[in-house]
Chains A and B, each alone.
Chain A
Amino acid sequence: MDFNYQDIRKDFPILDQQVNKRPWVYFDNAATTQRPLPVVEKIREFSLQTNANIHRGTHAHAIRTTEAYENARDIVRDFLHAKEREEIIFTHGTTESINLVARSFCEKFLSEGDEIIVTEMEHHANIVPWQMACERHHASLKVLPFADNGTLKTELLESLISDRTKILAVAHVSNTLGTVNPIKEIIRIAHSHNIPVLVDGAQSAPHTTIDVQDLDCDFFAFSGHKIYGPTGIGVLYGKRSWLDAMPPFLGGGEMIDRVTFEKTTYNELPHKFEAGTPHYVGAIAMGSAIQYIENIGIDKIASYEHQLLNYATDQMKALKNLKIFGESPEKTGVICFQLDQIHPFDLGTLLDQLGIAVRTGRLCADPVMDHFGVTAMTRASFTFYNTIEEIDSFVAALKRIRLMF
């Protein structure tokens, strides 16, 4: 294996601990990832040495912080392969990024009777903001379904598109099914009807190379805490032409050009969409997180994670009466499953007793639960600091737990 996870795990001291007197196995990476030492160090260094508000002062630390913040923007621009740095907006996370577009884009471009397309496998964060926009503008939501194996029925997309379709929002990778969606194809189809596309990249950015110019997506959103950075920081990429045309989202400091009581003019991109003091320490630390995974190599990470996924899938499928939800040929390290008739809450509780952290419940994806006619699922999600040995412990735990029922 061309991947030394032992060295890598040293960068994540949090992993080296016991839970319920057993070595902790963290398989809830699709919910949030752990932060490597360079990220922790960056937050510490900033808090102890450099803190000052950005873009406002003439003093040394204000200048240093501003430079570091804008440098983080450049890191994100390179990471996403965006054309211009002004197309990178810092937000609180994927949820705010999507809400920003659903609010500002729709205010300008959505009218009564118009339509928005989402897919059946979206996280609630990529459904609810669009529903709210539809309610505000008396528009309607159309849904592209997925097949039982977890792949989108892309062949139905043309039939959902009408001359009233104003935007399409789709997850790059599903947070429940793990499916890597054919977004390039989806974007091509949407663009042939002049429909812009927002890609929810929360689950893809940590695991695959992202090239927004190659994808030709109009918007791309992801979160810092799912990519080994801090919580409370995220990114919205938007093509300049759209961002220029959209009205501001939040009003406040930083986003203005000139304020009088009669009229306010707005600042240039990207500041127009960054009202108030941003989470600049978060942005700077997220920059360190991105550099950290780029140093390892995202292709190497993806290939190792794929080995973990394949190994876990094989081991789990060897268990009788274990059903995996989502078996798309294109998948990341996310496995949602049902073991016997054991309720996910019971399974999660007992796995925790054995030191293994998984996610259980509706996974912020009620429509996916409804699709399979279940009220909850158990999800194990892996990333590059996980190991084959941990998967073995996990499968052994499943075998032990099922005997209790």
Chain B
Amino acid sequence: MNIEDTQQAIIADFSVYDDWMDKYTYLIELGNELEPIDASYKIDQNLIRGCQSRVWLQQKLEGELLIFEAESDALIVKGLVALLLKVFSGRTPQEILDAEPYFIDEIGLRQHLSPTRSNGLMAMVKQIKLYALAYKQIASQKK
């Protein structure tokens, strides 16, 4: 599934929850299901610091695809991290650079991605894009 289809699928998943409590319960479930990243990656170098919660982001290149792993100490944030990974992980740098995570707005959780919300999610998206840009430049230099 490409990025666009993945975002649409997430929006469809959330459309069945009209109650906020169910929505957050689902997010918490997604957070609980997310594979924890290896402890050796939970280092300051991978830490995206927010005042409210912390996010660790680790990346590697497999062929032409950028693979991300991430985790947060807050479960709701972890649930949102899981969704962002579905959208952005396993894509080419160009696909990542071309995409905006509009699904967060559509599922009614926009407040978590506003620049004033210091939970690290906004910074995580920015970091993902920076990695994509860096890998794209490395690839073009090799050519």
**Which residues of A line the B interface, CB within 8 A?**
20, 342-346, 348-350, 353, 360-362, 375-376, 404-405
Residues of B within 8 A of A360 (CB): 52
- A152 CA to B22 CA, complexed, in Å: 44
Question: Are B51's CB and A361's CB within 8 A?
Answer: yes
- A353 CA to B25 CA, complexed, in Å: 12
| Distance in Å: Cβ of B49 to nearest Cβ of chain A | 10
Partner of A375, one of B28, B73, B118: B73
Residues of A within 8 A of B112 (CB): 349
Residues of B within 8 A of A344 (CB): 52, 74
Residues of B within 8 A of A404 (CB): 21, 24-25, 28
**Interface residues in B57-111 (C-beta closer than 8 Å to A):** 73-77
- A361 CA to B28 CA, complexed, in Å: 19
Residues of B within 8 A of A350 (CB): 24, 76
Question: Are A343's CB and B51's CB within 8 A?
Answer: no
Residues of A within 8 A of B21 (CB): 353, 404
| Distance in Å: Cβ of A235 to nearest Cβ of chain B | 27
- A342 CA to B112 CA, complexed, in Å: 18
Partner of B52, one of A20, A342, A345, A353: A345
Question: Are B20's CB and A346's CB within 8 A?
Answer: no
- Whether A343 touches B74, Cβ cut-off 8 Å, given contacts A362-B51, A375-B54, is yes
| Distance in Å: Cβ of A5 to nearest Cβ of chain B | 30
Question: Are A405's CB and B75's CB within 8 A?
Answer: yes
- A353 CA to B76 CA, complexed, in Å: 13
- A342 CA to B28 CA, complexed, in Å: 11
- A148 CA to B28 CA, complexed, in Å: 32
Does B6 sit at the interface, judged by CB under 8 A? Answer: no
Looking at B20, B52, B77, the one whose CB has the most chain A CB atoms below 10 A away is B52
- A346 CA to B54 CA, complexed, in Å: 12
Closest B residue, CB atoms, query A20: B20
- A345 CA to B50 CA, complexed, in Å: 11
- A360 CA to B76 CA, complexed, in Å: 14
| Distance in Å: Cβ of B54 to nearest Cβ of chain A | 7
Question: Are A376's CB and B52's CB within 8 A?
Answer: yes
Q: Mark B114-136, 1 if CB is under 8 A from A, else 0.
A: 00001100000000000000000
